[in-house]
Amino acid sequence: MPILAVNVDHIATLRQARLGQEPEPVTAAHMAELAGASAIIVHLREDRRHIQDRDVALLRQLIKTRLHLEMAATKEMHRLALGIKPDMVCLVPEKRQELTTEGGLNCIGREKELADYLAPLHEEGIGSSLFIDPDAAQIKAASDAGAHYIEIHTGAYADAPTPADRQRELDKVLEGIRIGRELGLKVNLGHGLNYENVWAFSKVSGVSEFSIGHSIVSRAVLTGMTEAVSRMADIVRTFPD
Ligand code: PXP
């Protein structure tokens, strides 16, 4: 059975909008665990736009499931990961200007470099995943690099403008799952998955983990709106005329 891994980056995005203390991603992570998440994911970006170093350190100490750290394959992140020891790292490409991770990591021709990057992490018992597009050559290269998992980028499927495009992108993801499994890799899916488009995978076997963040945080904000507003309205109503 696949597991749900919840990405809490955008709880931190909301907090960083005021550079304050709320909402607290660690609390969101605990609530996600209580609600059935089997892993918590954070992306510690080079520019620290949402998740901060202290979030990762606190999550490592406090969460009860698994901590997956998304990161660029830089020296800084390598050192941090070896110190924090997440259960798994997921290597992603990172550009400063992008709104979110735009494409998969290029693994072709970088198999040795990636293998050398991952080996010390593996020695510390940290699992590894490479976030890649559903492309046969990339999947083969990820396998040659010795990654335990690939995470297939589902963004092109999620953002496809027409039903025909969506079907074509879905077919690529399904083929990617097949190739990955055939090569002995574990296969995760993530990016842009929401309460509608995730159903396409309801009868697909071979997926270990669904990595979902933005749609869950978006829904949480709106489903919590009624309680949040009525609580404040109740408070204000008790004030004198
Ligand atoms: N997987 C990876 C590698 C990502 O970079 C992201 C976005 O941070 C996600 C999954 C989650 O995507 P979304 O927030 O669109 O659910």
Nearest CA to ligand 1 atom 12: 191
pTM of the model: 0.96
> At 36, is the pLDDT very low, low, confident or very high (cuts 50, 70, 90)?
very high
Does 101 have pLDDT greater than 80? no
Tell me, using a 6 A CB cutoff, whether residue 49 lines ligand 1.
no
Q: Contact at 8 Å (CB) between 126 and 89?
A: yes
Tell me, using a 6 A CB cutoff, whether residue 68 lines ligand 1.
no
> At 95, is the pLDDT very low, low, confident or very high (cuts 50, 70, 90)?
confident
| Separation of CA 186 and ligand 1 centre (Å) | 18
Average pLDDT in the 33-58 region?
A: 97
**Structure confidence at residue 1 (pLDDT):** 92
Tell me, using a 6 A CB cutoff, whether residue 104 lines ligand 1.
no
Among 224, 217, 219, CA closest to 9: 217
Residue 10 known to be catalytic:
no
**Structure confidence at residue 98 (pLDDT):** 75
What whole-number distance in Å separates Cα of residue 93 and Cα of residue 98?
11
* Structure confidence by residue, pLDDT tens digits, 47-88: 999 999 999 999 999 999 999 999 999 999 999 999 999 999
Residue 124 known to be catalytic:
no
Q: Compute the Cα dihedral for 43, 44, 49, 54 and give only its sign.
A: positive
* Structure confidence by residue, pLDDT tens digits, 118-144: 999 999 999 999 999 999 999 999 999
CA 107, 216, 165 angle in degrees (round to 5)?
55
**Structure confidence at residue 99 (pLDDT):** 77
